[in-house]
């Protein structure tokens, strides 16, 4: 199945009232696992590569080409997205390589500078038919606007989208990056107000810290694109540790990376099911 635009996956999910799963790739095993998990679920999926991951690999191109190749071999629709890019040069490289979307993160800048930089990046990307996500303020885990108690203002969010012409907006509703526990407390009423105020799809960052039931409620309240990274890394690392604990003499990395890949695929299948399920009437 050919690579699909990110906007196609996200907009179809919003129309259907379900969540679009977006999962971060750290190495090729992640890309393979995420696609396998999506195929098992029979769902489309978004593969994300962050600027930090590009830096880890020395540059964007090696991990990007591997991820794009994996996406093109999938039997379900798959999009590839650049996550948390602060560098305009990296955005341009992602566009050149064939990414369907970018998340340009100028949230560390003062508001007016954020708007100007995001607007310029959006104009460039739209000129190449690439979809753009942005963030108003910093997501938690970076001592920013998604830190506990900080929330996105619906009116400011609407003005930001109008000023920048972005296609999706990451908002602060109580989640935080890199959480190892799934006990984040989301403001569902705020999610609904943002959904009714902001004309573009909403993105939930830091979703690894949100439990299954609350993920369903978040989608029901108005979230569409749901980003997950740390939760998959926990599954990956736990599988590696378990294998090496049982087989201390293992030296072939395929012996422990294989189970880790399977663990991530299972987690993706489960989460995609949660994002497509009807939210329970009562949160437990």
Structure tokens at 53: 């991951």
pLDDT at 181: 53
pLDDT for the residue numbered 152:
85
Tell me, what's the pLDDT at 175?
A: 56
**178 token code pair:** 């890199």
d(CA 96, CA 88): 12
Instruction: Annotate 42-53 with b (16+ C-beta within 10 A) or e (fewer).
Output: ebbbbbbbbbeb
129 given a catalytic annotation: no
Q: What is the CA radius of gyration of the chain?
A: 18
Task: Write out the chain's pLDDT in tens, 284 residues.
Answer: 679 999 999 999 999 999 999 999 999 999 999 999 999 999 999 999 999 999 999 999 999 999 999 999 999 999 999 999 999 999 999 999 999 999 999 988 888 999 999 999 999 999 999 999 998 754 444 444 445 567 888 999 999 999 999 999 999 886 556 555 555 557 889 999 999 999 999 999 877 667 788 889 899 999 999 999 989 999 999 999 999 999 999 999 999 999 999 999 999 999 999 999 865 655 55
Domain ranges of the chain: 6-276
d(CA 84, CA 68): 18
pLDDT of residue 143: 45
The pLDDT value recorded for residue 146 is 45
Other Cβ atoms less than 10 A from the Cβ of 6: the count is: 30
Choose among 9, 17, 85: nearest CA to 47. 9
- The CATH H-level (homologous superfamily) assignment of domain 6-276 is Aldolase class I (3.20.20.70)
pLDDT for 206 = 77
The whole-number pLDDT of residue 94 equals 98
**DSSP structure class, residue 190:** H
User: DSSP letter at 130?
Assistant: -
Asked whether 210 and 189 are in contact (CB, 8 A), the reply is: no
E strand spans, the chain: 20-24, 45-50, 78-85, 101-104, 131-135, 168-170, 202-204, 223-228
Alpha carbon distance 25, 29 (integer Å): 8
What is the predicted pLDDT for the residue at 210? Answer: 77
Beta bridge pairs of residue 79: 46
CB atoms within 10 A of CB 211: 16
Among residues 83, 105, 153, 167, the one annotated as catalytic is 83
Model-level pTM? 0.92
pLDDT of residue 148: 53
């Amino acid at each position: 199945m050919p690579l699909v635009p990110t906007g196609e996956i996200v907009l179809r999910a919003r129309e259907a009232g379900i969540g679009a799963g977006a999962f971060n790739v750290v190495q090729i095993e992640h890309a393979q696992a995420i696609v396998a998990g999506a195929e098992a679920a029979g769902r489309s999926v978004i593969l994300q590569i962050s600027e930090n991951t590009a830096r880890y690999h020395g540059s964007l191109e090696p991990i990007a080409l591997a991820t794009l190749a994996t996406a093109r071999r999938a039997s379900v629709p798959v999009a590839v997205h650049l996550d948390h890019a602060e560098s305009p040069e990296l955005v341009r490289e992602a566009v050149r390589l064939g990414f369907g979307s970018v998340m340009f993160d100028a949230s560390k800048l003062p508001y007016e500078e954020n708007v100007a930089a995001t607007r310029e990046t959006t104009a460039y990307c739209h000129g190449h038919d690439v979809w753009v996500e942005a963030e108003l303020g910093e997501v938690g885990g970076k001592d920013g606007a998604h830190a506990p108690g900080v929330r996105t203002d619906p009116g400011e969010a609407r003005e930001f989208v109008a000023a920048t012409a972005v296609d999706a907006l990451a908002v602060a509703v109580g989640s935080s990056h890199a959480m190892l526990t799934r006990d984040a407390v989301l403001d569902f009423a705020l999610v609904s107000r943002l959904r009714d105020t902001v004309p573009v799809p909403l993105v939930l960052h830091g979703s690894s810290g949100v439990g299954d039931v609350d993920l369903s409620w978040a989608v029901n309240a108005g979230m569409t694109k749901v980003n997950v990274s740390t939760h998959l890394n926990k599954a990956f690392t736990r599988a590696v540790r378990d294998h090496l604990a049982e087989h201390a003499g293992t030296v072939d990395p395929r012996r422990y990376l294989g189970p880790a890949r399977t663990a991530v695929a299972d987690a993706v299948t489960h989460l995609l099911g949660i994002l497509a399920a009807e939210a329970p009437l009562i949160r437990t």
